[in-house]
Amino acid sequence: MSVKGSTVRFRGSTVSLKGSIVSIRASTVRLKGSTVSLRALTVSLKGSTVSLRALTVSLKGSTVNIKGSIVNIKSSIVSLRSSIVSL
């Protein structure tokens, strides 16, 4: 883990988001203030698997943007609005 100013990078770690566990494999997590950028091949949300395939996911607050698709994470509720991935 390297800390540069307000940037923290994790490799192959687990991120906890509002009680929900997000498992990242072979990915890079960059924490800049309240913004988290994820580059991963596989992201596991509450036991369900989401295949990203080198896509970039931006976490801002409780909103996840996946190529225009919106994923709202509220406590234990995960809503997906995407034609590609469904939990």
- For the chain (87 residues), the mean pLDDT of every run of 10, in chain order, is 36 44 44 43 45 45 46 38 35
> Has residue 86 been placed in a domain?
no
Q: Which domain holds residue 67?
A: 2-81
pLDDT at 3: 34
User: Alpha-carbon distance 3 to 34, whole Å?
Assistant: 15
> Has residue 87 been placed in a domain?
no
pTM above 0.85, yes or no: no
Using a CB cutoff of 8 Å and minimum separation of 24, what contacts does 49-58 make? Answer: 50/85, 50/87, 51/85
CB half-sphere exposure, 5, CA atoms < 13 A: 5
- The total of structural domains in the chain comes to 1
pLDDT at 67: 47
> Has residue 52 been placed in a domain?
yes
User: Alpha-carbon distance 5 to 25, whole Å?
Assistant: 25
Gyration radius (Cα) of the chain, Å: 12
pLDDT at 32: 44
pLDDT at 59: 47
> Has residue 38 been placed in a domain?
yes
> Has residue 45 been placed in a domain?
yes
